[in-house]
Amino acid sequence: MQAKQAGLPGDAAGVVLDAIRHPVIMIDENSLVSYANGEAESFFGASRAQLARRKLDTYIPFGSPLLALIDQVRERRAPVNEYRVDVSSPKLGSERLVDLYVAPVTDQAGSVVVLFQERSMADKIDRQLTHRSAARSVTGLASMLAHEIKNPLSGIRGASQLLEASVGDEDRALTRLIRDETDRIVSLVDRMEIFSDERPVDREPVNIHAVLDHVKAVASAGFAKKIKIVENYDPSLPPVFANRDQLVQVFLNLVKNASEALASQSNGEITLTTAYRPGIRLSIPGASERVSLPLEFCVQDNGPGVPGDILPHLFDPFITTKINGSGLGLALVAKIVGDHGGIVECDSQNNRTIFRILMPASKEENANAGETNK
């Protein structure tokens, strides 16, 4: 394979490599970057001119498995595949897991081509399937709790009310405590029962900006009245194929979580964004063809971030960082998004947490994705 020095290639091979939607670079015999396609610019956060003639270890940390793979390919003169390789570095960022294909360039001794396939989308699917499995576990638990707990609780509450009328002031505080705690448990069971609703979701074309405007109005009038909410919308976004009320529930939950994370900050800010991301197509179990998820909706805050030990389990039931939290809010978000055939993920660092939702466009609009959402 021929490839020119990093910069716009003039041959057909360069045009083909630029069409590949994965980062591709060529390393010469001195471990200098001699070619980079367009996706590699985004991956490394540098232009082709900046990448040109720089050593790969400028971006990849010393001791990285990638550098060892390149040496192996040079020695054996045979291609190598490696999966789930961590190429995280200060320049590339954290949690950069990739699948690698490294191959020798037959007519350029010592040169190799490296193709990076980011695992982010595959991991999103894996996490989403885990969330759905967890939600099914809560479904069974909710059905059991509704039958085995709610009925006895109603009897306990009734007994506490009878006692309250016949005891002194000191004991009355205890009967009220029994009543209040009983009501709290019933409320928790009611929230869990939402997971047992397996009816098909009633969906239609929905203007996501109307949903977000409603959520912003509710938040600004109540729990987020002291927090700045910024909008960054794509005005040409097509409708999302969804249930409007459930979308309101999802984004109210995310905005409320963000506002609570900002409670102790004087410069708290929540940003709502929408964007069209063509090219994201997934194979979903039970679907006869690949499903497109081009619509991206994000809720971002500049709070302290999610603890690293919690992040992988954030959408699991009963996982919470709040003192009095039930840990069901984000699990419900994952269930609703999953029921819509979408994916939800969280990217959290210090001073920046983003909840990102990918969802399908309205079936009527798939062929005209660029039309204005009316």
Q: pTM for this one?
A: 0.53
Instruction: Give the pLDDT band of residue 370 (cuts 50, 70, 90).
Output: very low
**Per-residue tokens: 289:** 């063809």
At 361 the three-state DSSP class reads strand
Which CATH number applies to 122-196: 1.20.1630, 1.20.1740, 1.10.287, 3.30.1380? 1.10.287
Burial of 86: CB neighbours in 10 Å, binned 0-12, 13-18, 19+ = middle
Find how far residue 82's CA is from the centre of its chain: 25
Residue 329 has a pLDDT of 75
Which CATH number applies to 204-368: 2.40.37.10, 3.40.50.1000, 3.30.1450.10, 3.30.565.10? 3.30.565.10
Residue 231 has a pLDDT of 95
Across 172-190, average pLDDT: 76
Q: What one-character DSSP code corresponds to residue 267?
A: T
Domain edges within the chain: 12-118, 122-196, 204-368
Q: How far apart are CA 227 and CA 248, in angstroms?
A: 19
**Per-residue tokens: 161:** 């009310």
Across 214-243, average pLDDT: 91
CATH code for 12-118? 3.30.450.20
Q: What is the pLDDT of residues 58-103, one digit of tens each?
A: 888 777 888 888 888 898 888 888 877 878 777 777 667 788 889 9
- Whether 368 and 276 have beta carbons less than 8 Å apart is answered as no
Q: What is the pLDDT of residues 323-336, one digit of tens each?
A: 555 567 788 888 88
- Which residues touch 328 (CB under 8 Å, ≥6 apart)? 138, 188, 191, 192, 317, 318
Q: What is the pLDDT of residues 241-259, one digit of tens each?
A: 898 988 998 999 899 999 9
Q: What one-character DSSP code corresponds to residue 360?
A: P
CA nearest to 29, candidates 101, 115, 104: 104
- Residue of 153 and 33 predicted with greater confidence: 33
Residue 279 has a pLDDT of 58
* pLDDT of 284 strictly over 80: no
Across 18-47, average pLDDT: 84
* pLDDT of 238 strictly over 80: yes
- Whether 261 and 300 have beta carbons less than 8 Å apart is answered as no
